[in-house]
Structure 1
Amino acid sequence: MAYDWPVRKAHMDDVKDMHALLLDCAQKGLLLPRALIFLYGHVRNFWVVEAPDGRIAACCALAPVWEDLGEICSLVVREELRRHGLGRKVVEACMSDCEALHIRRVFSLTYQVVFFSRLGYEIIDKGALPQKIWSDCVHCAKYPDCCDETAVFKDLGSRKE
């Protein structure tokens, strides 16, 4: 059963709840942590699902990386709400921004390969993402020898002019 909760762009009032949600998952080794200041600075990239009680049930960001390349990142769903379509909803919301931004190639570094494969992503070598490696990965404590995330990629095709 999928929850029919609203998906909307994140705003500043969501950031602390998003941070707590991301931190909880990061402590469990499910994703890399994000600093609170990073979330405030990138709030425009985020979509959220708001539960009826007002808490953030899920969040995800589309981060432009280069020319026509974007990254799906910081995808998290509250543990007790997983497997109800909320992750798919926020990823699809992020993907809806691709056309307006002229992004036609999207990737993610993830531990959730099966989830992304169900959305049409394919596994690629991380070396195919030099812009990501040299802008973000080099600053990660796991770079280069301990990175255990898998790179997944989706070509959205030619953009419509």
Structure 2
Amino acid sequence: MIRKALIADAKAIHKLLMKYAKDGLMLPRSLAEIYENIRDIYVFEDQGQVVGTVSLNICWEDLAEVRSLAVAEEYSGRGIGRKLVEACLDEAHSFGLRRVFALTYQLEFFTRLGFHEIEKSELPHKIWSDCLKCAKFPDCDEIAVSIEL
């Protein structure tokens, strides 16, 4: 079941994200960041356990980012990631946003959802504030993808 995250989900979200961050597959998020942004986060819950998460970060009047998409490894391949991203796209559409982007290592996953690869230089400089925290900056090897709504 997909739902908006609750305060009680924050530690489970943090644990899930940190697994992927330790593997270098996403930026780490502090527990404080999760609490501060809890309204932007969706979770996929199975039998009372958070097994997937994603957030929609609104960047500007017509632009949002899908970020921190993670699904527990044992739930991989069940369409949970797709459902989480679709929830973000639905919300972005309801806000009247025209474009959603993501930075990813999973190009094929996002292209199956209708995203297309773009140059990172097409994105506003404002989005790079998180990149400054990354050990890979400025030699980022993530791929930028975007979808028009």
Contact 1:65/1:131 (8 A) holds in 2: no
Corresponding residue number in structure 1 for 2:136: 142
1:30 aligns with 2:30: no
Q: Aligned partners of 2:91, 2:62: CA distance in 1, in Å?
A: 12
Aligned residues: 149
The yes-or-no answer on 1:48 pairing with 2:23 is no
The RMSD of aligned alpha carbons is: 1.3
Q: Percent of aligned positions with the same letter in both sequences?
A: 48
- What is the CA–CA distance in structure 2 between the aligned matches of 1:18 and 1:130, rounded to whole Å? 28
- Choose the corresponding residue for 2:122, options 120, 128, 142: 128
Give the Cα–Cα distance (whole angstroms) in 2 for the partners of residues 139 and 31 of structure 1.
11
Instruction: Give me the whole-angstrom Cα distance separating, in 1, the residues matched to 2:27 and 2:134.
Output: 9
Q: Does 1:151 align with 2:139?
A: no
Query: Which is greater in Rg?
Result: 1
1:9 is aligned to 2:4? yes
- SS of match in other structure, 1:142: coil
* Aligned equivalent of 1:112: 106
Gaps of 5+ in 1: 1-5, 157-161
- TM-score scaled by length of structure 1: 0.87
Q: Which amino acid is 1:43 matched to?
A: I
Q: CA deviation at 1:134?
A: 4.3
Aligned mates of 1:35, 1:109 — CA distance in 2: 19
After superposition, residues 69-108 of structure 1 pair within 5 angstroms as 69-108=63-102
1:60–1:150 CA distance, 2 compared to 1 (3 A): same
**What amino acid does structure 2 have at the position aligned with 1:151?**
A
Scaled by the length of structure 2, the TM-score of the pair is: 0.94
Compared CA separation, residues 50 and 26, structure 1 to 2 (3 A): same
Is structure 2 residue 54 aligned with structure 1 residue 60?
yes
